[in-house]
């Protein structure tokens, strides 16, 4: 058996998919932290969803920790014996009990980055009559601002609040005939990540970043352009009219292995095969995007967004407001290099920057976005 570590501390051992975990007095440890907010993974700890919020939980003025049912899958999937998080993480399998949270009076809100069925365990358990803390709020925070169908579902009605980006995000619910009171929504601007450069004037289209989403959990939720534009994009890359950068969704190819194969081919053609998203965002001059949270993240840079579409194959999944500040590239009729020439003076720059400021509640730095996050959460205390 090989020892496994959580933030440098031994928490058990594993051999293949078999685990032996050490128990801890999680209740006393969490209570000592005096957390005000807790990030909840009701199932397995999800490193990708955690990544969206990690920097916020590190920089926030609110005391925070993480709870999950299990983190065993991380060691297996990442083929690593070390799991590191910037804030404390507790697991039901090692001693954390959901019911205990009702006796920690510092807790103000539980934050849920995903809608999964096991979230009901928290809704059912908290609060109870004998709990000393009966005021814990359940807040859905998601894992990025996008026009995917999962961004506005009827499931939101079971939460006390939903943390969203802006008025457009709220309007998605009304468009889907989901009616929630105005005070259900907490608006912070779209979530981003640190170390992003923001332009203040148009720049030449020299470095093109492609950041497609994955093929989704089902064909009905497949918003990826990868399979559709792979052939024409590969042809354009070979012309060497621009430098090509690539950053696929971490779940690319999880459901359909052919997406992983196509993705790997593009990685081989990338000018800088880096996994550092902030670095790629900063190196790029513009990005080809799908309907995904990464599109809003890229919008923060102020740089142009190119939305691939086809009049015969691919419908636009962006809302009309976002479409109005994106360059719509008909990949079937216009080579990308020609399209870049058509938009080389970035005529949408001013409108895009105005839209950008609205989307991020005027935040121009990551710290300003953290301040918006804090203000939105604190508004319910």
What's the mean pLDDT in 129-148?
94
Evaluate if residue 314 carries a pLDDT over 60.
no
The answer as to whether 125 is a domain residue is yes
Residue with the bigger pLDDT between 152 and 74: it is: 74
Evaluate if residue 313 carries a pLDDT over 70.
no
247 lies in the same domain as 160: no
Task: Give pLDDT tens digits for 202-252.
Answer: 999 999 999 999 998 888 888 899 999 999 999 999 999 999 999 999 999
Domain span at 83: 2-192+369-378
At 217 the pLDDT is 87
Evaluate if residue 340 carries a pLDDT over 80.
yes
The answer as to whether 364 is a domain residue is no
Domain count, the chain: 2
The answer as to whether 324 is a domain residue is yes
312 lies in the same domain as 267: yes
At 221 the pLDDT is 84
Q: What is the CATH number of the domain that holds 240?
A: 3.40.50.2000
Reported pTM: 0.94
Q: What is the CATH number of the domain that holds 130?
A: 3.40.50
Average pLDDT taken over every residue of the chain: 94
4/119 Cα distance (integer angstroms): 27
Task: Give pLDDT tens digits for 243-284.
Answer: 999 999 999 998 899 999 999 999 999 998 778 999 999 999
179 lies in the same domain as 233: no
352 lies in the same domain as 374: no
81 lies in the same domain as 211: no
The answer as to whether 169 is a domain residue is yes
């Amino acid at each position: 058996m090989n020892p496994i570590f959580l933030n440098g501390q031994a928490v058990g051992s594993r051999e293949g998919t078999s685990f032996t975990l050490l128990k801890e007095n999680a209740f006393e440890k969490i209570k000592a932290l005096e957390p005000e907010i807790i990030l909840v993974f009701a199932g397995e700890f999800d490193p990708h969803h955690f990544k969206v919020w990690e920097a916020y939980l590190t920089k926030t003025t609110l005391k925070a920790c993480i709870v999950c049912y299990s983190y065993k899958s991380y060691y297996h999937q990442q083929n690593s014996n070390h799991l590191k998080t910037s804030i404390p993480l507790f697991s039901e399998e090692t001693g954390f009990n959901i019911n205990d949270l009702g006796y920690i009076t510092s807790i103000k809100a539980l934050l849920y980055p995903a809608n999964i069925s096991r979230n009901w365990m928290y809704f059912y358990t908290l609060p109870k009559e004998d709990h000393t803390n009966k005021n814990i709020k359940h807040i859905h925070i998601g894992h990025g601002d996008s026009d995917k169908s999962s961004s506005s579902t009827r499931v939101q009605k079971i939460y006390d609040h939903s943390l969203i980006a802006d008025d457009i995000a709220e309007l998605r619910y009304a468009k889907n005939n989901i009616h929630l009171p105005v005070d259900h929504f907490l608006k912070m601007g779209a979530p981003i990540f640190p170390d992003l450069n923001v332009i203040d004037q148009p720049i030449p289209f020299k470095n093109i970043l492609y950041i497609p989403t994955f093929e989704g959990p089902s064909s009905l939720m497949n918003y990826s352009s990868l399979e559709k534009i792979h052939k024409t994009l590969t042809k354009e890359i070979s012309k060497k009219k621009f430098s090509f950068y690539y950053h696929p969704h971490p779940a690319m190819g999880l459901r359909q292995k052919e997406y992983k194969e196509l993705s790997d081919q593009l990685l081989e053609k990338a000018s800088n095969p880096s996994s550092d998203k902030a670095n790629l965002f900063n190196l790029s001059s513009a990005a080809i995007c799908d309907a995904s949270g990464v599109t809003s993240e890229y919008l923060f840079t102020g740089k142009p967004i190119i939305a691939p579409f086809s009049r015969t194959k691919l419908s636009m999944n962006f809302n009309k407001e976002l479409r109005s500040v994106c360059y719509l590239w008909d990949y079937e009729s216009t080579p990308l290099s020609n399209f870049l020439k058509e938009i080389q003076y970035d005529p949408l720059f001013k409108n895009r920057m105005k839209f950008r400021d609205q989307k991020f509640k005027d935040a121009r730095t990551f710290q300003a976005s953290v301040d918006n996050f804090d203000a939105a959460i604190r508004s319910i205390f």
